[in-house]
Chains A and B, each alone.
Chain A
Amino acid sequence: MFELRLVQGSLLKKVLEAIKDLVNDANFDCSATGFSLQAMDPSHVALVALLLRPDGFEHYRCDRNISMGMNLNNMSKILKCGGNDDIITIRADDGSDTVTFMFESPNGSANFEMNLMDIDSEHHGIDESKCCAVVRMPSSEFQRICKVLSSIGDTVVISVTNEGVQFSTRGDIGTANIVCRQNINVDKPEESTVIEMSQPVSSQFPLRYMNSFTKATPLSNTVTISLTSELLLAVEYTIAEMGYIRFYLAPKIED
């Protein structure tokens, strides 16, 4: 049997809002490591990795590893049936082809059963060692930059140098360049912009995906943007005390 109980149920709602437009169907893997997911978008341009660790739940029981295939739009619909302050319990019996969501509030409870799906998926090894630039900044600022740039162009060039991180785009009406410099706020670390770089790096990415990733903004005050030497982009939002949601995005490359 698998069962988890999340007191702050709104957190799971925010997770679903962050990924449901990027990925249609995905396997949620339940193991001693936690409640996790790895899935690509249908075009295989982006990959999302989610981990919610067992100690973040009020109760977490996983007798054996199971993989629950879910349509994320349907899961989101069910989560919206619960109130924002509800406690959420998710339960699946071994061998069952359904999963049960229970919502509890001081006023009562509600149960929803959702059909599971068989989804073919592969797990991917993620090599963090090739990282050559890391930028941590306020997530709201990153969201604003992606939104502003997508009103001008379709693609953003992200360049990290000793000067800071530059986001640039070009469109029919002209060009846009936004530079964020390192800025460490000791009193409010969540408002800091911190840049760590082993070598300058620059690459371009579709803004449509970047804007999709920023739907995770309500999960965290800060976002960490990493670029590897192979120009793979990783955008990570930590989920307080529990884990993370990471988005990986493949670059646009010269023909």
Chain B
Amino acid sequence: VLLLKIHATKNCSGVSLKTQELYAIVFVTRYLDLLFSFISLYNTIMKLIFIGSSACIIWYIRFHRVVSQTYDREQDTFRVIFLILPCLLLGIFINHEFTITEILWTFSIYLEAVAILPQLVLLQRTKNVDTLTGNYVFLLGGYRALYLLNWIYRFLTEPGYRQWIVWISGTIQTAIYCDFFYYYFQSWRRNEKLSLPS
């Protein structure tokens, strides 16, 4: 959705480069297993799509002659080091196996939970949020919220299926969206442009 929007409108105002870069870090550190394990064709293709689309979005915002001019550089000022460092420490201390790939995988789970924060802060600073940008954040949050249902279903149907690190991080991630969801639905109901209160 976001890539299509940027490609079609040649405009990325209201889009946080910081969040996109955090997602790129999340995907690369999590999908290292592309190199040594195979789950399914669907799984492999989706991993490549996630890595590729975020890399493409970053390229557009940073380097595209027209798109880069529309980037809200002065507004997108979230200090991502305050997210990356704690997640890295958490990944080093709370994991299931003290190996490089496992620590990076766990780090990516923690980082993903908070990766949307720079985008939410930028949305709050944006007066009139572009409909497509609002939809992108809604779909991203909705996608993760559906995982909650997926986990409940798998817990009930697959004996021994449990993964506490993923469950707790995923629940926090979805909780971070709650406020946004509220205002998204309200603007939808009233047929108004989305704007978050500051």
Do A and B interact? no
